[in-house]
A and B are shown apart, each in its own frame.
Chain A
Amino acid sequence: MKGKKTGIALLAALCMLLSACGGGEKAPEAPELMEPVGVELDFALVKRMDIESIVTFEACVIPETEDLYFTVDGVIGEVNTRLGAAVKKGDVLLKLDEEASEEKLADLREQLAYYETLYTYENDLARVDIDILKLELEKAVRGGITEADRLSSQGNIDMQELLLKQKKEEQDAVLSGIRGDIAELEKDLGKNVITAPFDGTVVRMNTLYEGNWVGAYDEVIRIANEDVLMVESEYVSPTRLSAAPRVYALIRGGTYDLEPVEMDMTEYFSIVFAGGTVMTDLRFTGDTGDIRAGDYALMCLVTSEKEDVLAIPFNALYVDDTGKYVYKLSNGVRVRQNVRTGASNGLYIQVTEGLEEGDRVYVKE
């Protein structure tokens, strides 16, 4: 216990000694502190600029497409293309089986020729029979017959004439019917082919086998025409599009103005009711340059634009119960300044009253 007390006393004495050594010099003054780093205040210049509000939509450059179909029912006879195939304008892509139609047509033509010949023979026979009857009457009259018999024979001749006339009318009806069938078939034969309306690529095709039935107006093939390009974007309502001062797209390294393509409302509602995603199509208003189908497009909808207006950074503006205000730099100090504001794009805001060009305003951190 005694040793411990001695230790404490020695430590205290050492401290006193050290203290005495230091005490010989003049105590240093506190160092002068520099300006704190990062507290240089941000004052933005009030300047004139264009304020443009933009909303962007993901989009893509697509080719114009066209669905192709037959205008008559039939059986597939030839399939000359496939999904993904490049086709040239005028290429025969699909053909209905014309063998059956052509066979039927040949049969009808043969039938027509047969009846025309047969009717000629029959009518010639009937004509000779009538001539014979007339001759018999003439002979009878010359030999002397009663007036009643003469009238009876003449009546018979007249009846045969009438029957021949009626028979010819019936024959004409039959022949006319066959000719009508031929004309109908010949008319349809011209519609048995689907040809490419332009150079393009088959982007959709029903699974078609030769011998399978296909209905009129069934859309069996879709072809893309890369010479006519469009932009398809996420859905934007037609009202919003028409209200936009400008619609353009960034594609590759360029900017291209666009205008909306009128939407088919039937298709719109069918997609909506089916729970699908409606897209918006837009066409280029100028030259498309070197862009091509498949290029990405960032569709920009300018929702409002103000040219050459006085503006400040959006985060320079304060709002309280009394209204909007800024802190204007005045003689090196921040002074509250009430302002009136106009258009904003979320980055900058137009100041219509309270500031002048060249003023500086404090921007909060």
Chain B
Amino acid sequence: MLRSNLMRLVACILILAGMLPLMGSTIIDPAKISDSGAEYKTGEVVTGSFTKTVAGGGVMYYPKKYQIKCETYNARVKSISVGRSDKLEEGQEIGVLYTESSRADLALLRQRLENAQESLEEMDRVLDDKILALQSSAASASDPLDSEMLRLRISRAAIEYEKNRFVLEKEISDLKERISEEEEKLKDTPVYSPVTGKIEAYSYLNEGDSVAYGTVILRVYETAVYLIRVEDDNNRWHYGMDVTVAYGPRNNRKEAAGRVVSADNVLPYNKKTGYSYIALDEFIDPEDLSSINLSATYLSLDNVLLAPKKAVSLQKGKNLVSILEGSSVAQRYVYTPMYNSDWYLVLQGLTDGQVLILD
């Protein structure tokens, strides 16, 4: 057994000894060693545009709203001819109100007017008689003092007459005005839509219901004027930004241009809403604006230095690049405040045309 193992060992040594000359002559072939340096993947520092985009879903927003209020006292509903979420045309009758006005009050006012007019006529007659009597006495007076006294009394009667007539005429005028107002109240009051739009809020009212003065009967928004609203929690949709609006059914998507006309970045802190509003450059029928998607370039810097994203690595909290210059590689720190999917924006440390080794 021992002898058998010894023979195996001797055989192996002999085999290895026999292969040695072969190894020395064929494994390293000097002709196959390249003298052209390492084959790096490289990219170039370029001057170009650095952009970032933002996207989101949009919803319709109607900024022109109207409130239809009850503007008469003691009103009741005679009829209501619209329902919740109905579309309305400008001038369309929404309903009719009537006023519970007292006919007794009106009758009393009319009687007072009649009395006042009668008093005026009577006053004219009495005054005429009084002045005539005084003038008669004055004509027969021989004493200059008596004559002067009568002249004064006639003058006084005339002034008093003018005064009373003036007061009574004012009373008659006021009564006529009040009667006119009361008569107006007794008429039905139709309520019309001030605009072509849609009902946003609706007070449920039935025939005969009383409606207090100032009660909001309907709230309507104008459909012809709209904005597109987008949520802006990250403060990316800035005022003034151009926006592309995609809309319509999946098999027939269309695009329109718009601009942000209101955004939190131009509002004071306590008035921020979390939304931005976009106005379209051209009017599109709001019925067509379904499934709205918005996109915009919120960051765009032109003529800036850009380094390929794969060329920049982080070392000790700073960005580092490997610059290939001929056959040498120089590692340098660079100041790159931001990046997008392809590039780092370079502010310091590189120049246009430098070749960088990509990671």
Size category of the binding interface on chain B: 35 or more
What sequence of 0s and 1s flags, for each residue 235-270 of chain A, a beta carbon within 8 Å of any chain B beta carbon?
000000000000000111100000000000001001
A173 CB–B CB distance under 8 Å: no
- Pick from B60-68, B79-87, B92-100, B109-117 the stretch touching chain A: B60-68
How far is it, in angstroms, between the C-alpha of A44 and the C-alpha of B332 when the chains are bound? 10
> Which residues of the other chain, A, contact B320 by a CB distance below 8 angstroms?
315
How far is it, in angstroms, between the C-alpha of A311 and the C-alpha of B13 when the chains are bound? 64
Is the Cβ of B38 less than 8 Å from the Cβ of A38?
yes
> Which residues of the other chain, B, contact A253 by a CB distance below 8 angstroms?
301-304
Is the Cβ of B266 less than 8 Å from the Cβ of A224?
yes
| A211 and B266 contact, Cβ closer than 8 Å, known pairs A15-B17, A365-B331 | no
Chain B at the A interface: SS class: mixed
Is the Cβ of A15 less than 8 Å from the Cβ of B330?
no
> Which residues of the other chain, B, contact A211 by a CB distance below 8 angstroms?
67, 69, 71, 214
> Which residues of the other chain, A, contact B332 by a CB distance below 8 angstroms?
313, 315, 347, 363
| A40 and B170 contact, Cβ closer than 8 Å, known pairs A15-B17, A125-B163, A138-B145 | no
Is the Cβ of B149 less than 8 Å from the Cβ of A135?
yes
B4 CB–A CB distance under 8 Å: yes
Is the Cβ of B347 less than 8 Å from the Cβ of A347?
no
Chain A min CB distance to B62 (Å): 9
Give the A-B contact count at a CB cut-off of 8 A: 230
Chain A min CB distance to B49 (Å): 8
Is the Cβ of B265 less than 8 Å from the Cβ of A298?
no
Task: Report the count of interface residues on A (CB-CB < 8 A).
Answer: 95
Is the Cβ of A139 less than 8 Å from the Cβ of B240?
no
| A27 and B24 contact, Cβ closer than 8 Å, known pairs A16-B18, A250-B304, A274-B270 | yes
Is the Cβ of A117 less than 8 Å from the Cβ of B166?
yes
Is the Cβ of B149 less than 8 Å from the Cβ of A136?
yes
How far is it, in angstroms, between the C-alpha of A130 and the C-alpha of B238 when the chains are bound? 83
How far is it, in angstroms, between the C-alpha of A194 and the C-alpha of B338 when the chains are bound? 45
What sequence of 0s and 1s flags, for each residue 269-290 of chain B, a beta carbon within 8 Å of any chain A beta carbon?
1110000010100000000000
How far is it, in angstroms, between the C-alpha of A125 and the C-alpha of B160 when the chains are bound? 7
B314 CB–A CB distance under 8 Å: no
B241 CB–A CB distance under 8 Å: yes
Which residue of A19, A34, A82, A346 contacts B64 across the interface (Cβ within 8 Å)? A82
What sequence of 0s and 1s flags, for each residue 154-171 of chain A, a beta carbon within 8 Å of any chain B beta carbon?
000000000000000000
> Which residues of the other chain, A, contact B104 by a CB distance below 8 angstroms?
none
B152 CB–A CB distance under 8 Å: yes
Chain A min CB distance to B6 (Å): 11
> Which residues of the other chain, A, contact B266 by a CB distance below 8 angstroms?
62-63, 65, 203-204, 222, 224
A83 CB–B CB distance under 8 Å: yes
A293 CB–B CB distance under 8 Å: yes
Is the Cβ of B333 less than 8 Å from the Cβ of A118?
no
Is the Cβ of A37 less than 8 Å from the Cβ of B162?
no
| A38 and B156 contact, Cβ closer than 8 Å, known pairs A54-B348, A271-B269 | no
CB-defined A-B contacts under 8 Å, sample of 29: A9-B11, A12-B10, A23-B21, A28-B24, A34-B35, A44-B330, A62-B265, A63-B240, A83-B63, A83-B261, A84-B279, A124-B159, A131-B152, A135-B149, A142-B145, A203-B262, A205-B63, A211-B71, A211-B214, A224-B266, A232-B265, A250-B301, A270-B270, A294-B238, A296-B238, A296-B300, A313-B330, A313-B332, A347-B335
Beyond A15-B19, A139-B149, A345-B335, 19 extra complex contacts between A and B, CB < 8 Å: A11-B11, A12-B15, A17-B18, A28-B25, A31-B28, A38-B38, A54-B335, A84-B277, A121-B163, A128-B156, A132-B156, A209-B219, A224-B266, A232-B265, A253-B304, A277-B269, A292-B240, A296-B299, A314-B333
